[in-house]
Amino acid sequence: MAAYKGVATDADGNVSLEKSAKKSAASGFWGALAEYYDFGLYGTASAVIFPAVFFGAGENHTLANIASLASFGVAYLARPLGAVVLGHLGDTWGRKKTLLLTLGLMGFATLIIGLLPSYDAIGPVAGVSLVLMRLIQGFSAGGEQAGSTAMTSELAPPEKRGRLVAFTMHGLLIGQLLGIAAFIPVSTNESFLLNGGWRIPYFVAIPLVIYALWVRSKADEPRDVYEALARQEAAKDPTAVQVKPEKVAAPAKPAPKKKSSLAELFKYHWRQVIRVMAMAQYAITGVLVSNYMLNYGVTYWGWEKATLLALATGTLVLGVPIQPLWAALSDKIGRRPVYLISMISLLVLFPFVFWMIQEGNLTVLVILLFVIGLLATGGNVVQAPMYTEMFPTRLRMTGYAVSTQIGNIIVGFTPMIAALLVRPGAFGWVPVLTFTSIMMGLGILACLSTPETKGKVITDDLEQEVASHAGN
């Protein structure tokens, strides 16, 4: 019985791609859950807690409000740098080791935020320290989603790729959900919340990160798996020169055979980069629901924090059972149709959300968010397999990470932009929705120009490389 150390094998000792893919999916799920729990915490806190705690809302409420929302967006400035550095590490050093690093950085920054003194204790230094930790979180997030989805996509069979890669997005959604929901129990008493109660959800993140690191440490590196497959094939047939010979269409423009680099990415794959940057604007509506909707409803129309937190949480809860269905559907009908259904639905329905907040109509608002929760999760879950399938293996993590994180700069600053655009009174939200509608429209156009990627062979270059090494 052959033994292949460091990779999953079946009962007969043979390398098992399916087991490796499932381990990678579990790693992606727990890693994304831990990372985006922290993301959900900050999005909520920056909207309704941190203006008072870290930015001196008692002195100038409007300025503190804008500064706090801007601190949410600051992380998105660090994300492209994280995407470049971590993407390159992931494409050269390895997916698994890089993903352990991203998660460790996020956990460290989250712990420090939970320990930071308030504005009342140390003045403006509190806000500066918070922003520094937020930059570390942003740097970390720059490589997380791209790395975990790249790792799983390279191990999953094409017919199941959407479903397995979707586990990263399931973790992302549940993490955000838990991050928002974590504040509900401590937000019923305003004094308790602002005087330390907000720290409790941050401390809960630490055991979650530790467990996610343990699960991730058990995952298989894709290159190790394919090298083991090559050795296994060579042992069975010494004349074999391919791991799994597959007929693959030649690329339109041959790229040079070299390691990951931004130069290669932008020279040979600039169209994909622009498309992903535009399609990343899909996330704008998620940020509006989890962040600015809370700020707008409380500040302008007197909604209770707990009510809007519950609504935002409920919208995410709906996505938990629905996302796997959308992922499976994308393996049947394609990535593009699922993305377009979600994006167009959001474009049509989202203005009514702010209208109902203005009108104070809780019943209609609940119905709207219910429908949005059903339809919008399709775009969320399908973007991961779609983006990974758009780039070659040697540039996959760099391409995915850099493209999405440059696009996400606008997403991250959407709450601050909204706070600057909004006007007091009825329909003061129209400028906000005009801006977001334009950005989502660009995403729809980009998707329409993107070839369908479902079922695409994405590991041919990796397989050929390790097979050639095995044949030497």
Q: Which tens digits make up the pLDDT trace of 394-419? A: 889 899 999 999 998 898 888 889 98
Is it the case that residue 5 has pLDDT exceeding 70?
no
Q: What percent of the chain is predicted at pLDDT more than 90?
A: 47
Question: What pLDDT was estimated at residue 37?
Answer: 94
23-224+266-454 fold = Growth Hormone; Chain: A; (1.20.1250)
Residue appearing with tokens 């999760």: 377
Question: What pLDDT was estimated at residue 336?
Answer: 96
Give the DSSP H or E segment for 461.
helix 460-471
Q: What are the tens digits of pLDDT across the range 359-371?
A: 999 999 999 999 9
CA–CA dist 22, 165 (Å, integer): 10
Give the DSSP H or E segment for 469.
helix 460-471
Q: Which amino acid is at 206?
A: I
> pLDDT band at residue 462, thresholds of 50, 70 and 90?
low
Q: Which amino acid is at 245?
A: P
Q: What is the 3-state secondary structure (H, E, C) of 66-99?
A: HHHHHHHHHHHHHHHHHHHHHHHHHHHCCHHHHH
Domain residue ranges in the chain: 23-224+266-454
> pLDDT band at residue 3, thresholds of 50, 70 and 90?
low
CA–CA dist 247, 354 (Å, integer): 51
Question: What pLDDT was estimated at residue 466?
Answer: 53
Q: What percent of the chain is predicted at pLDDT more than 70?
A: 91
pLDDT higher for 2 or 203? 203
- With residues binned 3-state (H G I as helix, E B as strand, rest as coil), the percentages for the chain, rounded to 5, are 80, 0, 20
CA–CA dist 356, 81 (Å, integer): 39
96, 141, 164, 202 from 32: Cα distances, Å: 14, 9, 14, 16
The pLDDT of 31-54, averaged and rounded, is: 90
Question: What pLDDT was estimated at residue 440?
Answer: 93
CB burial readout 26-45, b (16+ within 10 A) else e: bbbbbbbbbbbbbbbbbbbb
CA–CA dist 404, 282 (Å, integer): 11
Residue appearing with tokens 């009510």: 307
> pLDDT band at residue 243, thresholds of 50, 70 and 90?
very low
Question: What pLDDT was estimated at residue 254?
Answer: 39
* DSSP code of residue 240: -
Question: What pLDDT was estimated at residue 238?
Answer: 62
Residue appearing with tokens 């704008």: 284
C-alpha Rg value of the chain to the nearest Å? 23
pLDDT higher for 241 or 363? 363
String of DSSP letters for 292-340: IHHHHHHHHH---HHHHHHHHHHHHHHHHHHHHHHHHHHHHH-HHHHHH
Coil vs helix vs strand at 216: helix
Phi, psi (deg, nearest 5) at residue 182:
-60, -25
Q: Which amino acid is at 455?
A: G
Question: What pLDDT was estimated at residue 93?
Answer: 87
Question: What pLDDT was estimated at residue 464?
Answer: 53
**Distance from the Cα of residue 259 to its chain's centroid:** 25
Q: Mean pLDDT, the chain, as a whole number?
A: 86
The pLDDT of 167-173, averaged and rounded, is: 90
User: CB–CB of 307/293 below 8 Å?
Assistant: no
Structure tokens belonging to residue 271: 């169209």
CB burial readout 93-122, b (16+ within 10 A) else e: ebbbebbbbbbebbbbbbbbbbebebbeee
Helices assigned H by DSSP within 116-256:
119-122, 124-153, 161-181, 190-192, 199-217, 222-236
Is it the case that residue 12 has pLDDT exceeding 90?
no
Phi, psi (deg, nearest 5) at residue 280:
-65, -15
Nearest CA-CA partner of 148 in 164, 132, 134 = 164
Lowest mean pLDDT among 196-200, 222-226, 273-277: 222-226
The pLDDT of 201-219, averaged and rounded, is: 95
Q: What are the tens digits of pLDDT across the range 44-101?
A: 899 889 999 999 877 788 889 889 989 988 888 899 999 999 998 988 888 899 999 9
Is it the case that residue 239 has pLDDT exceeding 80?
no
Q: What are the tens digits of pLDDT across the range 429-458?
A: 999 999 999 999 999 999 999 999 898 877
Question: What pLDDT was estimated at residue 227?
Answer: 82
Nearest CA-CA partner of 285 in 446, 439, 79 = 439
